[in-house]
Structure 1
C-alpha cells in the first residue's frame, strides 16, 4: 500500500472505532430510549445530529463535483438543500412534534384518516429510504475505488456491516450521540483542509499558480497531463487545442498529434482512448458544460424553459427535504414543538456554514485538477485535490486522510439514520 492509502485506511478505522465506541457507551436500556431517546434530546444536540444525518455523501462529495462541472448553475443545489429547512421550520417542525405520533405513517393517518393511508405512507417512506441509501453506497464505492482500487462491492459491504453493528446495538439515543459527533467531525474534515489549501493557493508564486479563475478563457493544464478515456465522451473546446491521441477521435483511429478547433464542432472521443496534453493547453470539457471561465462564473441566461427548470429544481429540493423520513423522525426526540423549531433554526445555521466550503473546493479543483472536466468524474475532485495542490508527500496524505474521514463519516451517518 502507498502512503496515501495507509493514511486513508487509518482515517476510516479511527472513524469506525470512535463511532462504535460512542454508540456502545450510549446504548439504550429501554424501548423508549431505543425508539425516541425518551423525547428528551436538547435542541442543539438534536440539530447537530440532524445535520450530521443530512450532510450525506451527496452534499460532502456531490456539491464540489456539481459546482466544478456546472459552475454558478450548480450553486442552486446547496441553496436548495439548505432552504428546505426553512419550509420545515414554517410548516412541519412544531406540528409534527405536537401531534404525539410515533412514526410518519401515524402522523399521516391522523391527518388523513383512511384504511389505506397508513400502508401507503409506510410504503412511500420505505421507498424514499431505499432511494436515499443508494447514493450513500455509491459514495462508499467511489471513495474506496478512487483510493484503494479493488472490487466495487468492497466499500458498500464494509459500510453496511458497520451501520448494522452501530444501529442495532444502540438505538435512537446511541444514534443521536454518534450523529452529533459525526457532524462536528465533518465540519472539521471540510473546514481544515479547505483553509490549508487556501493558504497554499494564496501563498503560491504568481508564476507557479494555475491559470486565474477570473479570466474569461477556459482553464488550462498546469502540467503535462495524460488522460485515459474509458467510456465514449463528447467534448467541447473553446480555443484551438493541441494534444496527442492514441485511440479513436471523431470515429477514426488516431495515433499521434492532433489539433482540434471550435470550428470543427464537438470533439468525439472513443472508449479506451488516451489523450496527452502539454502544460498550458486549454482544457476541453464535456459537451453541455460551461467551458470558459466567464460562462462558468455566470448563471445560465437561457430561455424561459431554463428559468422554469431552475424553479423546478429548487422546488424539488425544498419539498424533498420536507419529505425525508429519517430527518422528520428526529423531531420526535425533541421535548416539545418549541424545541423542534429551535432545532430547525440551528440546523439552518449548521448546514449553511458547511455548504460554503465545498464551493471553495470546487473553485480550487477547477484550477488544480481540470482533467476531471475531460472525463466527467468530477465527484472524485475532493479526493484528488490535496495531492494535486500539496504533492504526494506527508502534507498531501494528511489532508487527504482528513477528507476521507469526513466522507466516510458522511456516508456512515446518512446510512445509520436511514436504518
Structure 2
C-alpha cells in the first residue's frame, strides 16, 4: 500500500477497503488544475465545496477559527513587549493570510478525501474514527487540518481544536498534582477551555453535564477509560479534594458551566486540567444516541503537532532536598503531564462516535518521535507535497492577490515545482520575488 499513489490511505491494523472510494475519488490530478478566482468576487465557502471544487481556492470563515490566530495564542500568558508577541495558533494559516491578505486556501484532492471520510464517519458507526495525517515538511498538513475544523463547524459539528500540541508541553504555569509524580499545566488547560467557550458557547449551554459510569474516569495516559462511551443515571464517580467538590458543583448543569468553572481562577491548575479532561469525556458521551440530546451530536477532536504529546516536555523541576548550588534540573516527560497525556486521543480505547483527526509535525523543537507508536487501530492519510498542477494554481492565486509581482508562465511553474519539491511554504517564499528569481 505504501507504493500506491501518495494521497491514498495507508491503514495500520485495519482494512482500507471502506475508504477505497474516497481515495480513488481524490487522486485524479488531471482535474486538480482549475483557473484561480482568488482576489475576485464569488469565492465559494466550505459549505459549497464538492468534488468539482478540487483545485480551486475557497474562502474560510475566520470567525470559526479563533484558536488559529496569533493573538489568541497569547491568552493567559504574561504580556510581552510589542514586536515580541507569543507565537502560536496555526502558523501555516497565519503565514498564508499575511502573504495574500485573504482567508482563502486551496481545496486539494487530499482535503476532499479527508472531508469526505470524516463526513461519512458521522453517519455510520465505523471503526475508522482515528485518522493520522502524515507527510513531508511543508506539505500542507496543518492547512488541511484547519480547513477540516472550519468545514466541520460550518456543518454543525462541535470541534475541540488544538492548533499545536507543542503549547501543551511548554510555556505557561505548571504545578505538581498533590504528592504524585504528575503535573498540571494551568495555562494550556485554560486556553483549551477558552477555545471551546468562544467557538461553541451557545451550543454548550444546551448540553447537560451527564453522569458518567465509573469506567469513564481517566486512567494513566488516556483521557477516556477502558469501557467509556455510555452515560449512566447512577451516582457520579468521586474524585479527592478540591476536584471532587468542583465536579459535584456541575452535576445536573450544562457543559458551559463545566467549561466556565475551569476558567474561574488562575490559582488551581488541577481544577482547570480536570475540567478540560471532563469535557473530553462529556463530548464523547454526547456523541452517542443516548448522550442527553434528541440525536447524537457530531464531535470532532482536531490536534495538530500531535507527536509532541509523546516526547519530553520543556518543563523541569529541582528537588527541594538538594543543595541549590548543586541541584540538577530534572526534565518532565509528557507521560507525567496530566493534560497532555490525557489528550492522546488516538490511543483512547473508546471514543463513542466521536472522530479524532491528528497531524504530525516533522519540525520538532523538543525531543519527540516523528511518528509515535500508537496502540489503537487507526487510519494514516499521507498529505503529499504540491503537484505541478497545484503549484500552478498557487502561483495564480498569489498573483491574483497581489503577492506575486507577475503571473508565472508554465516554464516558471515547472521550475518552481522542481525547486521547492512540493513544499508549500518554500513556494510561498519564492513566489513573492518570482520575477527576480526566474527568467
The structure whose RCO (Cα within 8 Å, separation 6+) is larger is 1
TM-score range, shorter chain: under 0.3
TM-score by length of 2: 0.25
- Which structure features the higher share of helix residues? 1
